Chains A and B, each alone.
Chain A
Amino acid sequence: MIAAIGIRVRLGRKAVLHGVDFAARPGEVTAIVGPNGSGKTTLMRALTGEVDYAGRVEIGGRDIRAAKGWELAARRAVLPQATTLAFPFTVVEVVRMGLMTGAHGDDAALPSRALAEVGLAGYEGRFFQELSGGEQQRAHLARVLVQVWQPVDDGGPRWLLLDEPVSSLDIAHQLEVMEIVASYARRGGGVVAVMHDLNLTALHADRIAVMQQGCLRAFGPPAEVMTDAILSEVYGCRLRVSAAPAGPAPFVLPHCAAPG
């Protein structure tokens, strides 16, 4: 369980989060959605300890402020929205950095398996900086997967914290990555993902947190949270939620939206 209690964050003089309570369960994909500037990435950064926050964040009942960096690294891996790489590392050298925590020893085969999983088999020897944006994003996902390869270990469930994991991917790879993420949760791990695409979120998330102006506006399963009223209010435009004929997941068609 990842629990955040009363999270307040100020960036400079501006209050960005005003007391957010949030929880994510292992075995589920928990998505954080909301319009630009609503505080979703800031909430993620509080969960990972990247920003100073008031309140309390726990992973598996443990306050992350009291945990050492390597202890946290063994429990959760973090995929940032954008990463820079200073030197000409190859793809496999970047992915291998996920092994640094030592949780999987120096399993030489793991990086290649992770790369195959994200659809980058055979990319090991390429220079990371020469990959396209989407390929870089998937290579980083492979690095993150390598860090917490087993969804559950002796210390309990492990976590993937992903900030917009599919933002620069084409639709095929979006589906592929969301499937990897959902499968990680099905095998007992926990996933928290900041998401931009409402439909992908509806398809793959078990629980959705909707952020609005630094507060948590709604929190629950897709069918409860993705309603005309909530989404139209939060995003400030008229949105109509429909249900796909094949399943319960709701969807939003931009064709049916109108500026509020």
Chain B
Amino acid sequence: MAADATLAAPLADRRPRARRATVGLAVFLAVVSVASLAIGASGTSLRGALATLATGGELSQMERVVLWDIRMPRLALGILVGAALAVSGAVMQGLFRNPLADPGLVGVSAGAGLGAITAIVLGGLLPAAVIASVGTWAVPVAAFLGGWASVLVLYRVSTRRGRTSVATMLLAGIALGALAGAVSGILVYMADDRQLRDLTFWGLGSLAGASWAKVAVAGPMILLAVGASLLLGRGLNGLAMGEATAHHLGIDVQRLKNGAILTVAAATGAAVAVSGGIGFVGIVVPHMLRLATGPDHTHLLLNSALLGAALLLLADVIARVIIAPAELPIGIVTAVLGAPVFLWILLRRRGMVDL
């Protein structure tokens, strides 16, 4: 018994380790952010620009455009999208009570994508006055609604009496994704040339089109969703023992579920609207953190946001330099790195997950 206690001691309280991880991840994010600003296809150097600024000099036109109009919004968008995808994954896994739930895998991103495509294609049919009043918000709001509808349907289909079947969830996700993909395909056929160009850029899953306008559109929605997710931590911990037990612990389960579904829809919708479908961030990031610091959602959600942001920036830097001066869609990088991790989780947990 004594030996057990000493063996167990390092695991007994993982909260200090999780707090240290938060600090470490914030530093990591800062480092990657600087790298993301410094590295790029053009020869513009961040150090040179900073030196110029420090000595009171003026930046050249080239430096201003590359750093302020291209790399800075890309950095901001990368942080926002990475945090949004990772938090969506963590919240969805908590809500569905299993580590394989991910917006990209179970059709939520596809639903959000369908919303976005609908807005792009059918938006052209609306009267100009309506378009002017909705403006840049049409695509992210439509993506949010598409994502929201997908999570709702998925949860209704796969959860019975407070128990979620992983098999039903994954299969329903495939069906939802296929359906959303098919309808999206029909809409693409209806699109005119200009819309088609919009769709192609958007569908690649990339941060390449980053602009301050996109940051302004996605920023508030993602910050709100990530902030709201931090309030869900305790509730999601209780939910890990099932809805009835969560209720007996004093958690308002219905409110928790509504909050979680809205959070996932807002974060996924905003991310998909500005960057297309970037997969696997939502499944890899929370899983790595659970291995390192445990499944306690009171720190998992914040740490997921930080690690998601940092890893997406890192993937973006890789996508930019690996075949420079051309660049790879970031979705390819995250899939190459993420898909094996997903398979590994599946194999390792085959006995434990309720398949």
Contacts and interface: CB of A to CB of B under 8 A. Distances in A.
Contact of B250 (A72, A84, A89, A125): A72
A122 B8 CA distance: 8
Interface in A76-124: 76-78, 80, 83-90, 92-94, 97-98, 100-101, 121-124
Given A86-B98, A100-B238, A77 B248 contact: yes
A93 B9 contact: no
B294 A121 contact: no
Contacts of A80: 242, 244-245
B10 interface: yes
Contact of B252 (A69, A77, A121, A127): A69
Contact of B240 (A70, A72, A85, A92): A85
A86 B13 CA distance: 19
B134 to A, nearest CB: 39
Contacts of B242: 80, 83-84
A69 B239 CA distance: 14
Contacts of B99: 87
A87 B290 contact: yes
Nearest to B252: A69
A138 to B, nearest CB: 15
A172 to B, nearest CB: 16
> Which of B5, B9, B237, B248 lies at the interface centre, i.e. has the most chain A CB atoms within 10 A of its CB?
B248
Contact of B241 (A77, A97, A121): A97
Interface in B71-109: 97-99
Nearest to A99: B249
A87 B245 CA distance: 15
Interface in B200-241: 234, 237-241
Contacts of A74: 250
B11 interface: yes
B21 to A, nearest CB: 16
Contact of A124 (B12, B163, B247): B12
A48 B248 CA distance: 8
Given A87-B99, A89-B295, A101-B249, A125 B11 contact: yes
B14 interface: yes
A98 to B, nearest CB: 7
B296 A93 contact: yes
Interface residues of B, number: 38
Nearest to B254: A69
Contacts of A212: none
Contacts of A78: 244-245, 248
> Which of B12, B234, B247, B290 lies at the interface centre, i.e. has the most chain A CB atoms within 10 A of its CB?
B12
A62 interface: no
A88 B295 contact: yes
Nearest to B96: A86
B2 interface: yes
B13 A92 contact: yes
Contacts of A124: 5, 8, 12
A86 B97 contact: yes
Interface string B1-25: 1101101111111100000000000
A90 B240 CA distance: 13
A187 interface: no
B92 to A, nearest CB: 12
| Range, interface on chain A | 35 or more
A69 B247 contact: yes
Contacts of A86: 97-98, 239-241
Nearest to B352: A129
B251 interface: yes
A85 to B, nearest CB: 6
Contacts of B11: 90, 125-127
A121 B9 CA distance: 12
Contacts of A126: 4, 8, 11
Contacts of A83: 241-242, 245
> Which of A90, A92, A121 lies at the interface centre, i.e. has the most chain B CB atoms within 10 A of its CB?
A90
A147 interface: yes
A97 B294 contact: no
A50 to B, nearest CB: 5
Interface string A49-82: 1100000000000000000111111101110100
Interface in A175-217: none
A70 B12 CA distance: 27
Contact of A89 (B240, B247, B251): B240
Interface in B288-341: 290, 294-296
A204 B212 CA distance: 71
16 contacts: A69-B250, A69-B252, A71-B250, A77-B248, A78-B244, A78-B248, A83-B241, A85-B241, A86-B239, A89-B294, A92-B12, A94-B241, A122-B1, A123-B4, A124-B5, A126-B8
Given A73-B249, A125-B12, 15 more contacts: A48-B244, A69-B251, A72-B250, A73-B250, A86-B97, A87-B240, A89-B237, A93-B14, A97-B237, A100-B250, A121-B1, A121-B5, A122-B8, A125-B7, A125-B8
Interface of B: 1-2, 4-5, 7-14, 97-99, 163, 234, 237-242, 244-245, 247-253, 290, 294-296, 352, 354
